[in-house]
Structure 1
Amino acid sequence: MKKIILASNNQGKIKEFNTMLRGIYQVISMKDKQIKEVPEVGLTFVENALIKARNSSEQSGLPALADDSGIVIDALGGNPGIYSARYANCHGDDEANIQKVLIDMKDVVDGERTGRFWCAIVFVEYASDPTPIIIQQSWEGEILREKIGNNGFGYDPIFYVPIYNCTSAELSFVTKNKISHRGKALSALLKVLKKN
């Protein structure tokens, strides 16, 4: 089976992508190929995903897949956006990031607490691929005033999903993967890759 490098060392993400792409590609991580990370200097999710995909493909010589995702909150002018993982100035500190959002939104009234998770997935056949496959998907919701639920990660405990009447952190893994921004983007990518 053809190998593809996922521009990530997140084992959960590797497993998720491997499950989705089974039968088409064998997904390997950056760690497997000793890929060095590069700064994400883009101003959009797509730019950052493209930077990561091209870097991983260049260093590995393999086709590469990268995603960049985060939460976009209307009342905060689109923030945290591409800075979602480091919103509180400490990369990957979910609790600190959530608390900063809650503080920043303390005066935002109900009905104006809208936001969405956003995911951009980029696939390149090789590092200089002039026609990368780019998929973007969103997941609409509202931002709560306190955390509810223990599943998921990141902003899931404060992201309320109206159609399920619960937070993302209360959804099962299977349900979340069907309706989330990343789940929808992966499904769309899968359809494109199966055609190629």
Structure 2
Amino acid sequence: MKVVLATHNPHKVAEFQQIVAATRPDLEVVGYDGPEPVEDGITFAENALIKARAASAHTGLAALADDSGICVDVLGGSPGVFSAYWAGQKKDAAANLELLLDQLRDIADPHRSAHFISTIAIVTPEGAEHVVVGDWPGRLATEPSGVGGFGYDPIFIPDGQPAGVERTVGEFTAEEKQAQSHRARAFEKLAPLLATL
């Protein structure tokens, strides 16, 4: 059985397929090749639903859509829904990361708390809609470290690591990230819904 993931980002498709395979090996996550809808929602949930509705309508399949980002406490939760466009409309991950680090340059470590949010929407061709949220707390490093992951991963230090260990997600293996990430946490809540497809 196929479910379409409403993204043109191959990293997300691969990540979702690996997460889904753990509980639904019969479910194939395929990328979306249709037009990108305008994401004009002001919350992660609104944008996830916009994308999932468009993908389901275009393909006739059940559709998943993830809207995610990093929320920095001292910035009032920003970049938030603007994470992918923080440095402008080009979706330049390196520029986004550099700008965020520059904005936090004088912020001391105790005040660098942040969390990744993943909001996943599922929309079926019959019109059923569900939204789940995963939250991954941590804080931001002062400079990038590691070559794994993508986006803000090289500066995000998740909570809950062993004493004396402070790795960024950029230093995690793919398996470590998939087991702990905001998407994995959201997917735990989504799995029972997928079982009904």
TM-score, length-scaled by structure 2: 0.90
Distance in 1 (CA, whole Å) between partners of 2:30 and 2:158 is: 32
* Counterpart residue number, 1:23: 25
- Where in structure 1 do 4 or more consecutive aligned residues deviate above 4 Å? none
Q: Which residue of 2 aligns with 1:103?
A: 102
Pairing 1:194–2:191 present: no
In 2, the alpha carbon distance for the partners of 1:194 and 1:38 equals 27
1:24–1:194: 8 Å Cα contact kept in structure 2? Answer: no
Cα offset for 1:195? 5.0
**Do 2:147 and 2:154's aligned partners in 1 also have CA atoms closer than 8 Å?**
yes
Match of 1:117 in 2: 116
The alpha carbon displacement at 1:53 in A equals 0.3
1:104 CA drift (Å): 1.1
What residue ranges of structure 1 are gaps of 5+ in the alignment? none
Tell me the secondary structure at the aligned position of residue 16 of structure 1.
helix
2:102 alignment partner AA: I
Partner secondary structure for residue 111 of structure 2 = coil
CA contact (8 A) 1:5 1:57 kept: yes
Q: How many residues align?
A: 190
- Match status 1:155 vs 2:152: yes
* Contact 1:80/1:87, CA 8 A, preserved across alignment: yes
Distance verdict in 2 for CA 1:161–1:17, change over 3 Å = closer
Q: State the superposition RMSD in angstroms.
A: 1.6
Structure 1 counterpart SS, 2:67: strand
Deviation readout 1:69-128 (Å, 9 max, x if unpaired)? 0000011111110110110004331111111111111222221110000000000112x7
The separation in 2 between residues aligned to 1:59 and 1:162, in whole angstroms, is 39
Q: Which amino acid aligns with 2:30?
A: I
Deviation larger for 15-24 or 93-102: 15-24
1:28-73 per-residue CA deviation (whole Å, 9 max, x = no partner) reads 2212xxx111110000000000000001111112111100000000
Counterparts of 1:59-78 in structure 2, within 5 Å, are 59-78=58-77
For the residue of structure 2 that corresponds to 1:133, the secondary structure is: strand
Q: Secondary structure at the match of 2:150?
A: coil
Higher mean displacement: 39-48 or 131-140: 131-140
The separation in 1 between residues aligned to 2:60 and 2:159, in whole angstroms, is 44
